Amino acid sequence: MFHIFPARGPRSAITRPTKVAGIPAGMMAAMSEHFDVHGGARLTGEVEVVGAKNSVLKLMAAALLAEGTTTITNCPQILDVPLMADVLRSVGCTVDLDGDTARITTPAELSHRADSPAMSKLRASVCVLGPLVGRLKRAVVALPGGDAIGSRPLDMHQNGLRSLGATSTIEHGCVVAKADTLQGAQIWLDFPSVGATENILMAAVLANGTTVIDNAAREPEIVDICTMLVQMGADIEGAGTSTLTVHGVDALHPTEHRVIGDRIVGATWAFAAAMTRGDITVRGVNPHHLDLVLDKLRLAGAEVTPFDGTGFRIVQEDRPKSVDFVTLPYPGFATDLQPFAVALSSISEGTSMITENVYEARFRFIEEMQRLGADARTDGHHAVVRGVEKLSSAPVWASDIRAGAGLVLAGLCADGITEIWDVFHIDRGYPHFVENLNRLGARIERVAGDPERS
Ligand code: UD1
Domain boundaries, the chain: 14-49+261-448, 53-258
Q: Which of 193, 202, 289, 363 to mutate to test the pocket of ligand 1 (most atoms within 8 A of CB)?
A: 193
Domains 14-49+261-448 and 53-258 share a fold: yes
- Distance, CA 57 to ligand 1 centroid (Å)? 14
Higher pLDDT, 454 or 422: 422
Q: Does residue 131 register a pLDDT over 80?
A: yes
Nearest atom within ligand 1 for CA of residue 123? 8
How does residue 340 score in pLDDT terms, banded at 50, 70 and 90?
very high
Q: Does residue 8 register a pLDDT over 50?
A: no
Out of 3.30.70.100, 3.65.10.10, 3.40.190.10, 1.20.190.20, the CATH code matching 53-258 is 3.65.10.10
Residues with C-beta less than 6 Å from any ligand 1 atom: 54, 123-124, 151-157, 191, 193-196, 334-336, 358-359
Q: Which of 53, 194, 293 to mutate to test the pocket of ligand 1 (most atoms within 8 A of CB)?
A: 194
Give percent above pLDDT 70 in the chain: 91
pLDDT of 149 reads: 65
Nearest atom within ligand 1 for CA of residue 149? 12
- Distance, CA 144 to ligand 1 centroid (Å)? 12
Give percent above pLDDT 90 in the chain: 84
pLDDT of 1 reads: 25
Compute the distance between CA of residue 126 and CA of residue 434 in angstroms, rounded to an integer: 30
Least confident of 118-127, 176-185, 275-284: 118-127
pLDDT of 103 reads: 98
- Distance, CA 278 to ligand 1 centroid (Å)? 32
Q: Does residue 451 register a pLDDT over 70?
A: no
What class does CATH assign to 14-49+261-448? alpha beta
Mean pLDDT, residues 255-281? 98
pLDDT of 123 reads: 86
pLDDT digits (tens, 9 = 90+) for 197-213: 999 999 999 999 999 99
155 is catalytic: no
Q: Does residue 24 register a pLDDT over 70?
A: no
Compute the distance between CA of residue 353 and CA of residue 385 in angstroms, rounded to an integer: 6
- The mean pLDDT of the chain is 92
- Distance, CA 328 to ligand 1 centroid (Å)? 11
Q: Does residue 386 register a pLDDT over 90?
A: yes
Mean pLDDT, residues 224-230? 98
| Catalytic residue, candidates 86, 147, 336, 422 | 147
Mean pLDDT, residues 138-162? 86
- Distance, CA 120 to ligand 1 centroid (Å)? 16
pLDDT of 122 reads: 85
**From atom 2 of ligand 1, which residue's Cα is the shortest distance away?**
54
